[in-house]
Amino acid sequence: MKQANAEDLTISETLIERDMNMEQQAETLKSIVRDKYTEIAQEAKPGDGCGCGCGCNTEYTIDMASDYTKLEGYNPEADLGLGCGIPTEHAGIREGDTVLDLGSGAGNDVFVARRLVGERGKVIGVDMTKAMIERAEENKKKLGYTNVDFRFGEIENMPVESDTVDVVVSNCVLNLVPNKEKAFAEIFRVLKMGGRFSISDIVTRGSLPKAVLSVAELYAGCISGAVTKESYLSIVEHAGFAGVKVVKEKGIAVPDDLFLKHISRSELASYKTTGGILSVTVVGEKR
């Protein structure tokens, strides 16, 4: 058996240190996001239009939210304006389905999905912010629903059994997850064979400037946590999904002044010639 030499040990120690640093960074980011969304859950009023965390109690408002008001099952009390699309539109949800909403917040997409699955179906909402779970439970109690279940947990380690879900939806949340590979592996795990997902999320066209990527405030606001559209689709396909495609896409206007807090005008001009922030809805299937 080959004995490890000093060089091997140094490499091993370096890799362990790198992994620990990445894990610590991930936990720090989760803490930042949890604090931000706890604040929103406790203070935001329905219709505030926070835009994925960017517009509440800040000097900048980034309008990402879509209009839910004409959808059956819509409940104004559950709409904090935190989304960037309407994933249920492209999910193919059928009566009797079991639907899982990731990052369910106050329950906006859960209640819309509940109308689609009917009394015979079930909708599960998972969120890592206890204050959001509490707010969602209050809304559920007011509506008197018995086939809706809100669960506290993280997307990278869902409190959901394998092969039990027909449809996964999510709205402007996966960009906030540090380990997107693990998140999509978990989505694949919980879906039944033939199950599908419809996810609205924030991606980028071109890579963001490094100075923007390092800003925690912009991470909680869904910007610096976003990856390029190509990288996003590659992660999804690598998780094992088939038929992956973007079914809806729109540009998101980010105020120049927000970027200029962190980069120079010349850097911003350079980025704007090739880059941008996009809202996309992506679908795929477990085959």
Q: Measure the CA–CA gap between 39 and 47, rounded to whole angstroms.
A: 16
Instruction: Give domain status of residue 40, yes or no.
Output: yes
pLDDT in tens, the chain (287 residues): 445 555 554 544 343 344 547 788 888 888 888 988 898 888 877 755 555 544 444 555 566 778 999 999 999 999 998 899 999 999 999 999 999 999 999 999 999 999 999 999 999 999 999 999 999 999 999 999 999 999 999 999 999 999 999 999 999 999 999 999 999 999 999 999 999 999 999 999 998 888 888 776 677 777 888 899 999 999 999 999 999 999 999 998 888 888 898 899 999 999 888 899 999 999 999 99
Q: Is 53 left (phi over 0), alpha (psi -120 to 50) or beta?
A: left
Angle formed at CA 253 by CA 250 and CA 256, multiple of 5 degrees: 155
The pLDDT of residue 210: 86
Tell me which residue range forms the domain holding 194.
Answer: 13-282
Instruction: Give domain status of residue 53, yes or no.
Output: yes
Instruction: Give domain status of residue 7, yes or no.
Output: no
Q: Measure the CA–CA gap between 77 and 210, rounded to whole angstroms.
A: 38
The pLDDT of residue 197: 98
Give me 247's structure tokens: 């079914």
Instruction: Give domain status of residue 4, yes or no.
Output: no
Tens of pLDDT, residue by residue over 145-167, are: 999 999 999 999 999 999 999 99
Backbone angles phi, psi at 210, to 5 degrees: -55, -35
Instruction: Give domain status of residue 180, yes or no.
Output: yes
CATH number, domain of 272, equals 3.40.50.150
Instruction: Give domain status of residue 8, yes or no.
Output: no
Positive or negative, the CA dihedral 129, 134, 140, 144 is positive
The pLDDT of residue 28: 86
Q: Are residues 195 and 264 in contact, defined by beta-carbon separation less than 8 angstroms?
A: no
The pLDDT of residue 55: 43
Tens of pLDDT, residue by residue over 85-127, are: 999 999 999 999 999 999 999 999 999 999 999 999 999 999 9
Q: Global pTM? A: 0.88
**For residues 206-243, b (16+ Cβ closer than 10 Å) or e, as one string?**
eebbeebeebebbbbbbbbbbbbbeebbebbeebebee
The pLDDT of residue 47: 59
Smallest CA-to-CA distance from 103 within 87, 89, 121 is with 87
**For residues 34-66, b (16+ Cβ closer than 10 Å) or e, as one string?**
bebbebbbeebeeebbbbbbbbbeeeeebebbb
How many domains is the chain partitioned into structurally?
Answer: 1
Instruction: Give domain status of residue 49, yes or no.
Output: yes
Instruction: Give domain status of residue 100, yes or no.
Output: yes
Smallest CA-to-CA distance from 105 within 84, 136, 74, 68 is with 136
Q: Measure the CA–CA gap between 214 and 229, rounded to whole angstroms.
A: 19
